[in-house]
Structures are given as structure tokens and as C-alpha cells.
């Protein structure tokens, strides 16, 4: 098999995106558009990949280098056409002297392109012995594309660009995807002979087809089944449309792998997410980044997980989580916010209106209600009372709180970090803990309850509050009659008033 080189063209501007972000860096399915193309290219195991950058290359070049460090970058200062772009890559491709092997050209803005399709195209090109092969597609509306002009018996004669086409040629619905495969020796020769005498005044790579035909070299087109794979996104509407198609593909794949997705239309799954069989995804759920979900887990409804790991059998309901780990059979939600560094143990619970950050919560430990847990370690089996705040920030620095195994802390506590609560310790309701509670101790910081009898009748006389108190037996006996004319007292409310 001959050596393969791949050129990815990503030098063009993205005017219609109207964005400060380079077009090929716009994302769908959790990856940039060029990231999708590079992933498809990687499946070909090419000997070398050259990416041509130009417009906004200060953004594009580092991104490509991060995704594919082995790729070579070639710079096209001015965008003078697709042939000119490939010429900028000629040295890196080794087209200088005695070139051999195959060169495949792809674009950086076709996010739906699949590796399998590129492989099939390349195999066809190699088996055919052609000088040039075109990956073509038959579309409903060919406007803007180069048309594949076929002669007698369907032999490919040329690619004619929209602006250079005759009315008759414009009616052709077989179009050039832009993905072309070349014998390197032919490409090296052809690049030097392509001119820019055409409607756009550009150097067209598509002119290689007519050049090969003129030289009597074989040319052909390989028609792709799914034309969405070769569609580029030029504006944000097209980007969203391609994103939806990509999502449908990913969601469909997981359903075939044994994942229940109740509502595919409102479920978004990034391409790098991993789901085990019998996971259930409920409506309105987004599984993003490198999220991994274990068997039998139930996610959603209305949940967003980015770069999270969810154990088998866990339930995550109406939750927003990022860089968090949820243990096996653990429970999260509804209305929970898990920030980076949250690690919930097996069988643990993070309940309603609880926010966590940098918090390791042990196996079977529970933070069930209305709490903030930041910079903390909670031992296995511990229970944190409702409405507890781990006050981790003193205005200057962050401090940690440790709660021991099987500790039980009361409701409405504040832990003013640094705090250590020992194994098996307890705290009373409303306690503010500063410092240390030894293992097994009970800490109580709120004072004894003070009750001032008959305060309302004396200090709020004549109000509904005072009337209610007196009707219930509060206040001196003589004053109770005085409230008879007060229409708002409890005794006047209509029967059935307690139903609401």
C-alpha cells in the first residue's frame, strides 16, 4: 500500500459566521469543526497530515497543534484559492522531488464527515488506479457547489464552479464535496500548471480534473450515500442544523447500544461521551464533554453533566454538574449544583438545593437539603443537617472542613472553616462551629431559648397577631373580650378555610 498524506484546508475566512472566533473553531457535538475532521482523518492512519492555516491562524494553529501535535502547519498568507492553498503545503507534503503515494485533500469545516466514509473513498481511489478521485454527492440544491460534469458513458470530464457554469451545467445535481484524492506525482505536476483565469480569479484545485483528462489520465468520482457528511457550515444557522444532525447520529448510536433515551429531540450527547447499557436518559438532558455513565443509571430530566463520571445505578435528577464524580447507586437532585472537585461516594446523597465544590463526600454520606458544601471532606455514613453552610472563605483565603465518619450535624449549622468535626460527633440545630469538635462529642452554640410570656397582646395590642394569640389563650383574661369586634380574628374565618 502506498504512503498517504492528508491536507486539511483551514485558511479561509468565515465572514458569514460574524464571529471573533475562527469558523473552523466553532463547535458542535463537543468538538470544533476542524476537530471532527482531524478525528476522521486520524482513522486513515496517514503518514503525515498538513493543515493549511491563514485567516485567524493565531487561533487555528494552536488548536490544531493541541489536537494533533504531529500535524505540520503550512501558512497561506492570502487566500487565493484551493489550489494555491495546497501549493502552500507542497513542501511539507514532499511534493518537491520524486513525489510518491497518495494525497488526500479535505476541508476543515465539514463536522459530520465520518472516518468510515473517508476510508471507503480512499480504498476506491487506490483500487481504481486513478490520478484524481472526487468524493461527490447528489444534492437537492446544488447552488454554490462545483458541478461534476460527466461525458458519454458517465465518464467524469471536469468540475465546473457555480460562477463558471453554463445554465445546463448548473442543472447538474452531482456536486464536488471538495474532498479529493490524488496520485502525488500527478498533483505535484498539476499544481504548477493551474492558473486563475476564471470568474473568481482564484486558483481552483478542481482544475486538476480537466488537466488529468487532457493528459489522458484516469479520473473518477465516488458518490457518498449521506450528503450531510460533506456539508460545510458557513453561518450559525447551518452550524445549528449540522449540530442537530450530528446529535441525532450520536443519540441513535447509543439507543442501538442499549441506552434508553425517552426524548431524542431534547437530549444532547457529545461525541466523546460514554454510556453503559441500560442507562436511561430522561428528557431535557445534556451529556457533555468526556462524561461517562455506568449501567442502570438514570439521568434527568433536565440535567446537564459536563465531564462527569456517574456510577452504575445512580440517579441524577434536575442537576447541573461539572467535573464531578457520582458514586454507584448514589442519589443527586432535584435542583443540585455540583461544581468541579465534587466526589460523592457509593450510596451517598446530594439533595435538593445543595451546591458542592471540592467536596469529597464518603460512601453512604448524605447532604440532603439546602446546603453549601465547599472545600470539605465528609466521612462515610455522615449526615449533614438541612440548611448547613460550609463557610470556606474568610474574605482572603479558602479553608477546609472535615466531618468525620457517621457524624450527625444539626440543621442550620455554619462551619466556619477551618473546622474539624470528629468521627461520630454531633452538633445541635443552629450551631456555629469554629475550630474542632472531638470524636463522639455534641457541640451546641446557640443559647438557651428565652420565652417572654404575653408579649404579643401587650406589645402588639389591636393587631391580628394579638387577636390570634388571645383566641389561643394567650394574654390576660380581661383583655380577651376587647378583641370581639375585630373582624380579622381567627374565630371569624369561614368553615373550610383550612383547605388551601
Q: Which residues are catalytic?
A: 369
Does the protein bind ligand UD1 through residue 176 (CB under 6 A)? yes
Beta pairing, strands 414-421 & 4-10: unpaired
State the Cα–Cα distance between residues 228 and 23, nearest whole angstrom: 18
Does the protein bind ligand UD1 through residue 137 (CB under 6 A)? no
State the Cα–Cα distance between residues 117 and 136, nearest whole angstrom: 12
Does the protein bind ligand UD1 through residue 209 (CB under 6 A)? no
Does the protein bind ligand UD1 through residue 56 (CB under 6 A)? no
Closest to ligand UD1 by CB, 102 or 177? 177
What residue is closest to ligand UD1 based on CB? 146
Stretch that binds ligand UD1, among 104-112, 355-363, 366-374, 394-402 (CB under 6 A): 104-112
Does the protein bind ligand UD1 through residue 174 (CB under 6 A)? no
Stretch that binds ligand UD1, among 75-83, 113-121, 263-271, 360-368 (CB under 6 A): 75-83
Burial of 116-153, coded b for 16+ CB within 10 Å and e otherwise, reads ebbeebbebbbeeebbbbbbbbebeebeebbbbbbeee
Which element (helix H / strand E) includes 2? none
Closest to ligand UD1 by CB, 57 or 406? 57
Q: How many CA atoms lie within 13 A of 47 on its CB side?
A: 13
Does the protein bind ligand UD1 through residue 146 (CB under 6 A)? yes
Does the protein bind ligand UD1 through residue 183 (CB under 6 A)? no
Q: What is residue 367's three-state secondary structure?
A: strand
| CB 407 within 8 Å of CB 390 | no
Among 29, 131, 145, 268, binds ligand UD1 (CB under 6 A): 145
Size of the residue set binding ligand UD1 (CB under 6 A): 27
For the chain, counts of helices (H) and of strands (E)? 12, 36
- Closest contact distance (angstroms) between CB of 48 and ligand UD1 is 18
Closest to ligand UD1 by CB, 84 or 213? 84
Cα–Cα separations (whole angstroms), residue 250 to 28, 253, 282, 309, 351: 12, 5, 16, 19, 31
Stretch that binds ligand UD1, among 169-177, 382-390, 458-466, 484-492 (CB under 6 A): 169-177
State the Cα–Cα distance between residues 302 and 286, nearest whole angstrom: 8
Closest to ligand UD1 by CB, 119 or 238? 238
Give the binding site for ligand UD1 (CB under 6 A): 9-12, 52, 76, 79-82, 84-85, 107-109, 145-146, 159, 161, 175-178, 204-206, 232
Amino acid at each position: 500500500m502506498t504512503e498517504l498524506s492528508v491536507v486539511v484546508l483551514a485558511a479561509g475566512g468565515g465572514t458569514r459566521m460574524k464571529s471573533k472566533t475562527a469558523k473552523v473553531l466553532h463547535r458542535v457535538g463537543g468538538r470544533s469543526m476542524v476537530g471532527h475532521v482531524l478525528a476522521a482523518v486520524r482513522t486513515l492512519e496517514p503518514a503525515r497530515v498538513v493543515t493549511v492555516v491563514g485567516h485567524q491562524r493565531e487561533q487555528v494553529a494552536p488548536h490544531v497543534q493541541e489536537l494533533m501535535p504531529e500535524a505540520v502547519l503550512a501558512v497561506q498568507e492570502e487566500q487565493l484559492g484551493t489550489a494555491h492553498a495546497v501549493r502552500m503545503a507542497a513542501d511539507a507534503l514532499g511534493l518537491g522531488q520524486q513525489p510518491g503515494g497518495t494525497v488526500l485533500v479535505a476541508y476543515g469545516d465539514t463536522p459530520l464527515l465520518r472516518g468510515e466514509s473517508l476510508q471507503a473513498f480512499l480504498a476506491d481511489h487506490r483500487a481504481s488506479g486513478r490520478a484524481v478521485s472526487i468524493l461527490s454527492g447528489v444534492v437537492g440544491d446544488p447552488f454554490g457547489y462545483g458541478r461534476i460534469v460527466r461525458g458519454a458513458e458517465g465518464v467524469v470530464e471536469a468540475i465546473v464552479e457555480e460562477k463558471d457554469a453554463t445554465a445546463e451545467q448548473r442543472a447538474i445535481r452531482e456536486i464536488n464535496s471538495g474532498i479529493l484524492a490524488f496520485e502525488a506525482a500527478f498533483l505535484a505536476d498539476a499544481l504548477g500548471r493551474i492558473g486563475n483565469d476564471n470568474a473568481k480569479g482564484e486558483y481552483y484545485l478542481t482544475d486538476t480534473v480537466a488537466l488529468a483528462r487532457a493528459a489522458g489520465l484516469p479520473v473518477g468520482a465516488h458518490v457518498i450515500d449521506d450528503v450531510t457528511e460533506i456539508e460545510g457550515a458557513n453561518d450559525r444557522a447551518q452550524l445549528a442544523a449540522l449540530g442537530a444532525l450530528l446529535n441525532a447520529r450520536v443519540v441513535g448510536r447509543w439507543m442501538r447500544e442499549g441506552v434508553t433515551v425517552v426524548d431524542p429531540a431534547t437530549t444532547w450527547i457529545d461525541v466523546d461521551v460514554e454510556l453503559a447499557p441500560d442507562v436511561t436518559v430522561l428528557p431535557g438532558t445534556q451529556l457533555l464533554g468526556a462524561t461517562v455513565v455506568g449501567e442502570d443509571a438514570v439521568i434527568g430530566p433536565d440535567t446537564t453533566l459536563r465531564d462527569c463520571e456517574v456510577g452504575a445505578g445512580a440517579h441524577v435528577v434536575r442537576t447541573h454538574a461539572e467535573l464531578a464524580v457520582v458514586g454507584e447507586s448514589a442519589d443527586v437532585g432535584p435542583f443540585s449544583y455540583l461544581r468541579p472537585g465534587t466526589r460523592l461516594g457509593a450510596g451517598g446523597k446530594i439533595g435538593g438545593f445543595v451546591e458542592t465544590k471540592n467536596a469529597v463526600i464518603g460512601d453512604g454520606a448524605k447532604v440532603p437539603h439546602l446546603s453549601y458544601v465547599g472545600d470539605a471532606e465528609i466521612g462515610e455514613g455522615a449526615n449533614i443537617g438541612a440548611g448547613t453552610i460550609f463557610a470556606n472563605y474568610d474574605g482572603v483565603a479558602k479553608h477546609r472542613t472535615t466531618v468525620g465518619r457517621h457524624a450527625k450535624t444539626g440543621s442550620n449549622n455554619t462551619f466556619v472553616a477551618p473546622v474539624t468535626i470528629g468521627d461520630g460527633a454531633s452538633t445541635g440545630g443552629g450551631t456555629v462551629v469554629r475550630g474542632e469538635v472531638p470524636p463522639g462529642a455534641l457541640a451546641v452554640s446557640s443559647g438557651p431559648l428565652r420565652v417572654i410570656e404575653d408579649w404579643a397582646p401587650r406589645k402588639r395590642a389591636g393587631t391580628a397577631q394579638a387577636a390570634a394569640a388571645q383566641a389561643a389563650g394567650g394574654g390576660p383574661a380581661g383583655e380577651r373580650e376587647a378583641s370581639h369586634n375585630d373582624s380579622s380574628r381567627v374565630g371569624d374565618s369561614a368553615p373550610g378555610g383550612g383547605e388551601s
